[in-house]
Structure 1
């Protein structure tokens, strides 16, 4: 479907001309499309951008959040976990998208985002209650994930011509990751790090109240942007164009129940879904706690933010370029996906060996960390739109929203598993550290006696 050349039938108008089609732009090679499709894509992309930004708020500033709100490393990991947890009711969101259309789904999604951002922004002095509100706000933002992460292919099929579909899918699917990347940049630059993450010879001092005020400013700014978008979507966001852009967009699709059964019984689809969900899910969870991972190798909060930013931005830019390339050259989706995953494997191996300096004796410098992380993000994130096109081709006529909903759920399942085990690892490590400190204190007291 997504990778097939447009046929002569698709080039013919689906309906006769009418007054309602005065704004229709004719496209000679793929039927008729509307100029407003770019506005629809922009609104959807901005929502995905803000959802990714809110999800990744706390990881890049984890050292500052610990000092300002008394968070532990476990708290930071759980705040990131709420994103994958929001995918638990994914079947409900896919049903809503299939039965009620994209507008109804997006209105519910933006409502969750506004409510979650408002809860996070309540300036309570009780830090324990404030912590619960922040966790609740992150969970509500996570509930917006199933629609925004899986509806990109549905939007591109509904609004765009076949020779623009892969590009539109890439933009709609990758902008959410770009929002997470901007959190790596905005967070560390807007929120000062505690003294222990500054350069050794620095004399800059930030008190806890000032750090808390900076974090509050970031929360208010995100709430304001989401509220504006909620008003815009409420006023204008059509579910579909008056006339479909192609025969494929207007064709009858399988029912919701039949689609789920078809997907779960298609072994080829399940194998491709596994190849997609494992690397993308692990990378998403790894990126969410990147600052926590790089702190033991003496990478500052700001440097970790820049590494995360460029790794995701590189993947988004390269992913759109590859999708545009796939729009012109058909039949190479599988080869492109294999090459992307092979490059990601090499980059991940390089990063791992660099971090294990005591065992490998390889130099661990800022340049090697930057390069390996950026290459890893480029290879994995740029493969996302290619995989989405493969999914749509494999299981047609299953609706695009349901297909991508299943694979994004699997991806977030692996993200949640990674963060779940990481949370237990951090808890056990902290417990062992406290035991060692208590034992050292006991030995010291015994020597004094």
Structure 2
């Protein structure tokens, strides 16, 4: 039998690929760059310094009262400037959406630098000096909308899908780490007023008003120098995005700014999860900012309150990064992780509140119990922040990450602002703050139980890219 050449019909493939769905994004070349770690490091260090400046006065409130004549209401207002800085959040979200992360971060870093300069001016006139301190705290608060909400935007822009939650956790939690460091740096460097504590290796001891002012000035200069170095570093190198996107989701088309705001405000599921995030995180931010004031009735010293706040926030940061890494390895479990975290936070906050009322509940109130319950509160609530952020993005995709997280961080700071606003009027007896913390955790837990989760962005990266 002789060989015969095949016909055109015989050379047609047996399996014809189906037509490409026009609604799906086109196939893109993706790449992950090593420089992403430099970008993440610069952003995280700025977040750390912003948190340190915001929480500087709370841990040394007794020293500030003696040195500058501050009242408890003044301390609450100094912490309140952080949430007040979120008033122009829509502008920062618009700037991030239109000009990229570099422009928004540079402006925020400039506000931090200018605010640190104002706080550090060594004026002799006490009234004018207090106004400069308040102005510096307000300018530092203006950096909050970008610093606190751009973490998920940075992780999507620079990191692969299996590293996104971890990068979000690092970028989002370093601000909390800065607040934790201020719990230690303040009491270790700034002495307490005379006859209020004994000096040890871990605390500055006691000192006169002049000594207190000199030490406060030293910390202010050190923070100014660190922020100046970071501002120059961001100015010299901080690209808005890599040459090639790291994933399909990073390259996909997003909604416009106006459409995104309308989509978010009309999405009931998003509003549910946004309130579940904003209420407990907003309450704990205000509560932690005046933790020394909260623990004073329990006969806890300024330094011990600082250490409790420090380990509470550090525990939340470490546990949050660990849980984010777990979420990266086992996808589609964000709601279950959050339910477990908020259940633990509800139990821990109830334990702490009842312990502080030991004269009525007759529960043992020791330093170990206060340490343990307070640290557990910080671990469960603070570690939930990056998990919440990832769930927000999955729920409302293709709304841009910066706009989504800008809305929820504004709501969280609104809650913090309202809490501190009431504190300026009801600052003599503050046990009501502890009950607010308990109620916020239970409220969030109920909303999470009724929330229906979806993973639209994850579906795009896992299935469409394949």
How high is the TM-score relative to the length of structure 2? Answer: 0.84
State the match for 1:21 in structure 2: none
Give a deviation string over 1:328-358, Cα, whole Å, max 9, x none.
1112110100000000000000000000011
State the match for 2:111 in structure 1: 112
Give the superposition deviation at 1:427. Answer: 7.1
State the match for 2:100 in structure 1: 101
State the match for 2:440 in structure 1: none
Query: Separation in 1 of the partners of 2:195 and 2:182?
Result: 21
Query: Separation in 2 of the partners of 1:237 and 1:427?
Result: 46
Query: Separation in 2 of the partners of 1:169 and 1:73?
Result: 35
Give a deviation string over 1:131-190, Cα, whole Å, max 9, x none.
000000000000000000000000000000001000000000001000000000100001
State the match for 2:258 in structure 1: 257
Contact 2:352/2:370 (<8 A) preserved: yes
Contact 1:197/1:301 (<8 A) preserved: no
SS of the residue 1:71 aligns to: coil
SS of the residue 2:31 aligns to: strand
State the match for 1:243 in structure 2: 244
Give a deviation string over 1:48-99, Cα, whole Å, max 9, x none.
0000000000000000011111111000000000000000110011000000
Give the superposition deviation at 1:401. Answer: 0.2
**Counterparts of 1:115-126 in structure 2 under 5 Å?**
115-126=114-125
Give the superposition deviation at 1:228. Answer: 0.5
State the match for 1:162 in structure 2: 161
State the match for 1:14 in structure 2: 28
SS of the residue 1:32 aligns to: coil
Contact 2:282/2:414 (<8 A) preserved: yes
Give the superposition deviation at 1:195. Answer: 2.8
Query: Separation in 1 of the partners of 2:281 and 2:198?
Result: 33
State the match for 1:328 in structure 2: 329
Query: Separation in 2 of the partners of 1:219 and 1:122?
Result: 9
State the match for 2:13 in structure 1: none
Say if 2:185 is the partner of 1:186.
yes
Contact 1:13/1:32 (<8 A) preserved: no
Q: Which one has the largest radius of gyration?
A: 2
Give the superposition deviation at 1:271. Answer: 0.2
Structure 1, unmatched stretches of 5+, are: 1-9, 16-30, 430-449
SS of the residue 2:331 aligns to: coil
Query: Separation in 2 of the partners of 1:146 and 1:413?
Result: 12
State the match for 1:56 in structure 2: 55
State the match for 1:152 in structure 2: 151
Say if 2:398 is the partner of 1:384.
no
State the match for 1:352 in structure 2: 353
Contact 2:192/2:206 (<8 A) preserved: no
Query: Separation in 1 of the partners of 2:70 and 2:323?
Result: 40
**Distance 1:197-1:117 versus aligned 2 partners, 3 A rule:** same
- Ranges of 4+ aligned residues in structure 1 off by more than 4 Å: none
Structure 2, unmatched stretches of 5+, are: 1-23, 200-204, 431-466
CA RMSD in angstroms, aligned pairs only: 1.8
Query: Separation in 2 of the partners of 1:349 and 1:196?
Result: 34
**Counterparts of 1:42-441 in structure 2 under 5 Å?**
42-199=41-198, 205-426=206-427
SS of the residue 1:362 aligns to: coil
Give the superposition deviation at 1:426. Answer: 2.1
Give the superposition deviation at 1:246. Answer: 1.1
Query: Separation in 2 of the partners of 1:49 and 1:73?
Result: 25
Give a deviation string over 1:299-342, Cα, whole Å, max 9, x none.
11110000000000000000000000000111211010000000
Give a deviation string over 1:268-319, Cα, whole Å, max 9, x none.
0000001111110000000000011111211111100000000000000000
Give a deviation string over 1:367-388, Cα, whole Å, max 9, x none.
0110000000000011111111
**Distance 1:367-1:428 versus aligned 2 partners, 3 A rule:** closer
Query: Separation in 2 of the partners of 1:196 and 1:417?
Result: 35
Query: Separation in 1 of the partners of 2:195 and 2:64?
Result: 13
